[in-house]
Amino acid sequence: MEAVPDSTFPALAGSLSASGRRFAIVVSRFNAFITERLLLSAIDGLMRSGAKKEDIGLVRVPGAFEIPLAARKLAETRKYDAIICLGCLLRGDTAHYDVIVNEVTRGIGQSAQETGVPHAFGVLTCDTLEQAIDRAGLKMGNKGFEAALAAVEMASLERAISSQPSAVSEKQVPRFARNDKSKKKPQNPKTKRK
């Protein structure tokens, strides 16, 4: 039997306070019947967490495929503490759904990893319209609200991690061993070309 970890072990965790933080929401217009419900619930989640209306930016894109690019551009501005991505993809009779789902998921994840700005994934990937309706507030809560809370928590966690002191100071790492492209590495006189 596997031992359960001690829950009193100290750990960094984000809070659910959006106060003083800025958020951007990227929402797809395609399947607007669903995405507008996600959007309203995401805004509700941010406001209930302490965000102010003026600290929430909204960008509308044609479809889910366009979400990653808009999210990336917003993250690169460094104006936002987190990006919330909202959309709805419904499976059809062709492979188009699978291609779009994979690209949207990859693009959002890649944007978050490369920019360092948290991205919350609120893109529904459903087989039927009924499933989407359920996930947009009917039976299974609202994924827009959940994405907003995830964004708030990750923005807080990112700040908590960033404020941690480094285990290794710059003085302990020789300049030539650093991964800093702006500084030239000292050349060893024995290896200089003549």
DSSP state of 184: P
119 is catalytic: no
Residue 122: name the closest of 78, 154, 99 by CA: 154
- Dihedrals φ, ψ of 40, to 5°? -60, -40
Q: CB within 8 A of 90, min separation 6: which ones? A: 31, 97, 126, 127, 128, 129, 132
Of 52, 96, 139, 185, the active-site residue reads: 96
Rounded distance, CA 29 to CA 32, Å?
A: 5
Rounded distance, CA 64 to CA 170, Å?
A: 43
Known catalytic residues are: 96
